[in-house]
Amino acid sequence: MIVGEQKPLEEIWEMIKGHKKVLVFGCNTCVAVCQQGGNKEAEILASMLRMKATQEGADIEITNSGIERQCEHEFFEKSEDEVQGAEAVLSTACGIGVQFMAEKYAKPIYPGLNTTFLGAVEKFGLYTERCQACGQCILGQTAGICPIARCAKRVLNGPCGGSTKGKCEISKDVDCAWQLIVDRLNLLGRMDDYEKLTPIKDWSTDRAGGPRKLVREDLLDE
Amino acid sequence: MNAKKRVGHLKTLLPQVGIAPERIEMFNLSAAMGPRWAEICMEFTEKIRQIGPSPIWFALQARKE
């Protein structure tokens, strides 16, 4: 899922303070799981902004609402009137939702979150990065552990010389991805795979190739 | 205890809007602890009285004037 982190209130306030009617709009899927941008968090943020507006003596009407996903057209139908009625929207979706709304509506759409990474819920309250959407998955060769997302250097034939006692040189709290890979290859009885050199990666499938697109011709409307 | 965690989180949110985190506290009591509940209410009321009105109250008063 996409993980985000709410922006500092002051930064949000600077974006919206010039408007008269602002809708704080939640996205109740990925960013709700990490408790940052769901409809409940949008409600809390709206409440805080109303308190801020009162103290600043600013005459802003701040309401809140939300939908299940801000990255698909059909989910917007039920909230169309609320969005149309607002002068500006503070979206608590990820960067995808904010941009999708900006394309749909001719009004300011502001980001309430910093979109941080694609991650997993290790446990309630702990979200960790697992994927960088590089466009060419090599998890089959690396025993299900991604050196692109989890190695600071994105080394494809590791570990590097900065690996000590299973930890990365950037922090003693960060596991060395290649140590994890070796341990798991060992566990799976696949240490022979460790001897195979991974060739230079084709980064054109990553962001280096520009914005990416997936087309399923069979699903597209004519 | 989820409520305790949420109150803890709220204590980090309130200062962002200028409200002292001491204005909210969590007390865990059983239904049979009426006298202790009354005592806590008295103490907490006195504590809030000492802290004084919130900045929001002052802002609302200023708006009325």
For A50-59, what is each residue's pLDDT tens digit? Answer: 999 999 999 9
* Closest among A99, A126, A109, A131 to A33, alpha carbons compared: A126
Query: For position A122, what pLDDT does the model report?
Result: 95
Q: Does A51 touch chain B (CB under 8 A)?
A: yes
Which of B16, B18, B63 is facing A57, going by the closest CB pair?
B63
User: A-B interface: how many C-beta pairs under 8 angstroms?
Assistant: 24
- Residues in contact with A92: Cβ distance below 8 Å, sequence separation at least 6, in sequence order: A4, A6, A24, A25, A26, A27, A31, A36, A37, A38, A41, A42, A45, A66, A112, A113
The predicted model gives A37-62 an average pLDDT of: 96
Question: Residue A220: CA atoms inside 13 Å, Cβ hemisphere, count?
Answer: 5
Instruction: For residue A66, name the pLDDT band (cuts at 50, 70, 90).
Output: very high
Q: Which pLDDT belongs to residue B35?
A: 96
Interface test with B, best of A14, A36, A51 (most B CBs within 10 A): A51
The residues of chain A that CATH labels 3.40.50.2300 are: 2-117
For domain A2-117, is the CATH number 3.40.50.300?
no
The owner of tokens 């230079």 is A200
Contacts of A212 (CB under 8 A, 6+ apart): A135, A205
Share of chain A above pLDDT 70, in %: 100
Model confidence at A222, pLDDT cuts 50, 70, 90, reads low
* Structure-block tokens of residue A48: 């805080």
Looking at the DSSP assignment, which residues form a beta bridge with residue A5? Answer: A114
Asked if A35 reaches chain B (Cβ–Cβ under 8 Å), the answer is no
B56 and A55 within 8 Å at the Cβ level: the answer is: yes
B60·A48 Cβ contact <8 A: no
Report the chain B residue with the minimal C-alpha distance to residue A47. B17
Looking at beta carbons, which residues of chain A come within 8 Å of B16? 8-9, 48
The identity of residue A5, as a single letter, is E
What average pLDDT does this structure show over A149-170? 96
Is omega for the bond preceding A159 within 30 degrees of 0, making it cis?
yes
Would you say residue A200 has pLDDT above 80? yes
**Residue A130 φ/ψ region, left for φ over 0, alpha for ψ in the -120 to 50 degree band, beta for the rest:** alpha
pTM: 0.92
CB contact under 8 A, B17 and A51: yes
Tokens standing for residue B54 = 């919130």
Query: Which phi and psi angles does A145 have, rounded to 5°?
Result: -120, 125
pLDDT digits (tens, 9 = 90+) for B11-21: 999 999 999 99
